[in-house]
Amino acid sequence: MAEIKETILDYVKDEYLDEDDDKEINFDTPLISSGIVDSFSMISLKRFLETKYNIQIPDSKATAEAFNTVNNIVKTVEEIKSE
Amino acid sequence: MAFNKKERDIFKDELNNIRNAGIFKDERIICTPQDSEIKVEFPAGAEKKSLINMCSNNYLGLSSHPEVVKAAIKGLENRGYGMSSVRFICGTQDIHKELENMLTEFLGTEDTILFPSCMDANAGVFEAILNEQDVMISDRLVHASIVDGIRLCKAQTDTYKHSNMNHLEKKLQLHSDKRLKVIITDGIFSMDGDMAKLDEIVGLAEKYNALVFVDDSHASGFIGKTGKGTHEFCNVLGKIDIITTTLGKALGGASGGCVSGRAEIVEICRQKARPYLFSNTIPPVVVSAAIKVLEIISKNTDRKDKLEKSTEFWRNGLNEAGFIVKDGESPIVPIMLFNAKLSQDFAQDLYNEGIYAIGFFFPVVAKGQARIRTQLSASHEKPQLERALDAFIKIGKKYDILKKTKEEIIEIYGL
């Protein structure tokens, strides 16, 4: 679990923050509601999760709430993996 | 009809949500032609107020130019008011082809197709030319109409950090297996006024065999040595595969847009682009006026040169006064205030001082990036800009934000 969290957090930082960005992101930082990730750019995060964890995330589960924090994302991934 | 209380309340609730979010849009009623000075009625019924206009896209001051108006009347008289048809049935006149050829010549491309608007051009082009085997790799700050166009297309999508070439290169490597890769960017980004790094983008496109798409709506007519746009400024004329642009800003300001670029791509748009196939032809009056606009700006660069001088005066004046101004090469000059409420209060105070400019905040711009966006026009005269600058300084002093750092402004007003 801890490894997945770290992997996803690293991806989010690399994909969505600029090199000179002064934002700090942790596992509970809002990503969507804070504007760090928007619905347009969320697609790359979804693709990363699907490729990395060999899953398909249906649109019904790729919601703003499910993707709003790293913790929420991990929960969503775990749920889909266990189905 | 089933528009009862329940149905009405659904829409009322939505409108209330928009109001509560502080993003409800009220129209200001302008009672004069578009110009650097306009009379505005706001709110509806209030006394009309004369304002210096610092927020129009009338970059070259041609929206109400006498020669353009005359050409529009001539077009109305010679080719009528409407065509009552889409282009491919019985809506293409000689002047539509003439305008398309002139745009091709002006933009330095292979062919051009007119659309009812650039919004329609962006909504139609991707879906017409790409399929599931392709990928669209877009800058994250492209205009909303491009986002809509991308969403209507079956090709895969990806985005790169704004103007970040390292990130774009990573994405091009990630999608190396796709049939077609299209890099998508605005030429000038409308909220920040900064320019895409088209020379570097073209370099990457050549390295990774990608096409380049540029929406040059905020550049056509006045960016680059002869005003062709950002591709001229960045020395990549002839290397942009798809340019979309509008006739609704510098090029007369009425309506209409186009896709201009590789001949085959334009031809596919004629065959498949839905906004072209299923909406009316641009009216002859607009086409005639747009032809005149292209004649005027092809004769000399006087209007573009005046715009550049005004922009320089405006940027320097604001910087010297101690405002935080976004750097850029365009006549879009954003003054950073960071706090959403401050941007609205500042805009209202400007209005009271006779200056018309809009404050933008999240979600139109990123959180904590609220600003007043000003836009210069060749129709601005120096005394008007001096008056506007005096008003900005007066209000800047009122809010104590002059010669302050971003951190200091945020400390006073929060984010």
Query: Is B79 found in the same domain as B34?
Result: no
Minimum CA–CA partner of A16 in chain B: B161
Q: Is the pLDDT of residue A2 over 90?
A: no
- Measured CA to CA, the distance from residue B34 to residue A26 in angstroms comes to 49
The pLDDT value recorded for residue A72 is 94
Whether residue B111 is contained in a domain is answered as yes
Q: Is the pLDDT of residue B81 over 90?
A: yes
User: Which residue of A29, A44, A47 to mutate against B (max B Cβ within 10 Å)?
Assistant: A44
Enter the DSSP assignment of B22: T
* Domains held by chain B: number: 2
Query: Is B136 found in the same domain as B34?
Result: no
The pLDDT value recorded for residue B386 is 98
Residue A82's pLDDT band (cuts 50, 70, 90): confident
Whether residue B129 is contained in a domain is answered as yes
Residue pLDDT, tens place only, B283-309:
999 999 999 999 999 999 999 999 999
Query: Is B276 found in the same domain as B207?
Result: yes
Q: Which chain B residues have a beta carbon less than 8 Å from that of A59? A: none
The pLDDT value recorded for residue B76 is 98
| Mean pLDDT, chain B, whole residue set | 96
- Among B284, B299, B314, the domain boundary falls at B299
Q: Is the pLDDT of residue A49 over 90?
A: yes
Whether residue B182 is contained in a domain is answered as yes
The domain that holds B201 is classified in CATH as 3.40.640.10
Query: Is B203 found in the same domain as B263?
Result: yes
Q: Is the pLDDT of residue B25 over 90?
A: no
Active-site residue flag, B162: no
Looking at this protein, which amino acid is placed at residue B319? N
Q: In sequence order, what are the beta bridge partners of B104?
A: none
The pLDDT value recorded for residue B241 is 98
Query: Is B277 found in the same domain as B260?
Result: yes
Q: Give the count of beta carbons closer than 10 Å to the beta carbon of residue B354.
A: 15
Query: Is B120 found in the same domain as B201?
Result: yes
**Which two tokens mark B169?**
């290169």
Classified by CATH at the fold level, domain A2-18+28-82 comes out as: 1.10.1200
Q: Is the pLDDT of residue A83 over 90?
A: no
B398: CB partners within 8 A, 6+ apart: B349
Kind and range of the H or E element at A48?
helix A42-52
Q: In sequence order, what are the beta bridge partners of B375?
A: B332
The pLDDT value recorded for residue A18 is 86
User: Which residue of B147, B161, B186, B406 to mutate against A (max A Cβ within 10 Å)?
Assistant: B161
Q: Do A40 and B158 touch (CB under 8 A)?
A: no
Q: Which chain B residues have a beta carbon less than 8 Å from that of A23? A: none
Q: Is the pLDDT of residue B276 over 90?
A: yes
The domain that holds B333 is classified in CATH as 3.90.1150.10
Active-site residue flag, B249: yes
Cβ-contact A67, A73 below 8 angstroms: yes
Residue pLDDT, tens place only, B305-319:
999 999 999 999 999
B340: CB partners within 8 A, 6+ apart: B22, B359, B361, B362, B370
Q: Is the pLDDT of residue A20 over 80?
A: no
> Exposure of B69 by Cβ count < 10 A (0-12 exposed, 13-18 middle, 19+ buried)?
middle
The pLDDT value recorded for residue B385 is 98
B401: CB partners within 8 A, 6+ apart: B323, B337, B342, B409, B412
Q: Do B158 and A16 touch (CB under 8 A)?
A: no
- Among B247, B281, B299, the domain boundary falls at B299
The pLDDT value recorded for residue B218 is 98
Give the residue numbers in A contacting B (CB under 8 Å), as ranges. Answer: 16, 18, 34-35, 38, 40-41, 43-44, 47
Residue B2's pLDDT band (cuts 50, 70, 90): confident
B170 Cβ under 8 Å from any chain A Cβ: no
- Measured CA to CA, the distance from residue B143 to residue B257 in angstroms comes to 14
Query: Is B161 found in the same domain as B99?
Result: yes
Domain with B46, as residue range(s), is: 26-55+302-413
Residue B258's pLDDT band (cuts 50, 70, 90): very high
Q: Residues B365-394: what's their mean pLDDT? A: 96
Query: Is B279 found in the same domain as B407?
Result: no
Burial A21-47 (b: 16+ CB within 10 A, else e): eeeebeeebebbebebbbebbbebbbe
The model carries a pTM of 0.95
Q: Residues A65-83: what's their mean pLDDT? A: 92
B362 Cβ under 8 Å from any chain A Cβ: yes
- Measured CA to CA, the distance from residue B179 to residue B176 in angstroms comes to 9
Kind and range of the H or E element at B200?
helix B198-208
**Which two tokens mark A38?**
């928007």
Which of B147, B159, B363 has the CB atom closest to A44's CB atom? Answer: B159
Query: Is B320 found in the same domain as B219?
Result: no
Q: In terms of Cα–Cα distance, which of B166, B121, B161 is closest to B138?
A: B161
Q: Is the pLDDT of residue B363 over 90?
A: no
Residue B265's pLDDT band (cuts 50, 70, 90): very high
The pLDDT value recorded for residue B23 is 81
Query: Is B270 found in the same domain as B251?
Result: yes
For the sheet containing B332-338, what is the strand order?
B332-338, B370-375, B358-360
Q: Give the count of beta carbons closer than 10 Å to the beta carbon of residue B202.
A: 21
Q: Residues A51-64: what's their mean pLDDT? A: 91
Q: Residues B173-184: what's their mean pLDDT? A: 98
The pLDDT value recorded for residue B364 is 87
Lowest mean pLDDT among B20-34, B78-92, B116-130, B384-398: B20-34
> Exposure of B268 by Cβ count < 10 A (0-12 exposed, 13-18 middle, 19+ buried)?
middle
Q: Is the pLDDT of residue B26 over 90?
A: no
Lowest mean pLDDT among A31-45, B230-244, B247-261, B331-345: A31-45
The pLDDT value recorded for residue A33 is 83
Distances (CA, A) of B228 to B289, B298, B355, B385: 18, 10, 30, 26
Looking at this protein, which amino acid is placed at residue A61? K
Q: Is the pLDDT of residue B70 over 80?
A: yes
Q: Which chain B residues have a beta carbon less than 8 Å from that of A40? A: 138, 140, 147, 150, 159
Query: Is B227 found in the same domain as B214?
Result: yes
Q: In terms of Cα–Cα distance, which of B215, B199, B198, B245 is closest to B147?
A: B215
Cβ-contact B229, B220 below 8 angstroms: yes
**Which two tokens mark A9?**
């957090």
Q: Is the pLDDT of residue A21 over 80?
A: no
Find the largest Cα–Cα distance for chain A: 40
Which of B158, B363, B366 has the CB atom closest to A43's CB atom? Answer: B158
- Among B278, B299, B320, the domain boundary falls at B299
Residue pLDDT, tens place only, B319-343:
999 999 999 889 999 999 999 999 9
Lowest mean pLDDT among A28-37, B91-100, B194-203: A28-37
Kind and range of the H or E element at B156?
strand B156-160
Q: Is the pLDDT of residue B225 over 90?
A: yes
The pLDDT value recorded for residue B260 is 98
Q: In terms of Cα–Cα distance, which of B211, B238, B185, B201 is closest to B129?
A: B211
Q: Give the count of beta carbons closer than 10 Å to the beta carbon of residue B208.
A: 17
Query: Is B400 found in the same domain as B322?
Result: yes
Q: Is the pLDDT of residue B255 over 80?
A: yes
Q: Residues B119-126: what's their mean pLDDT? A: 98
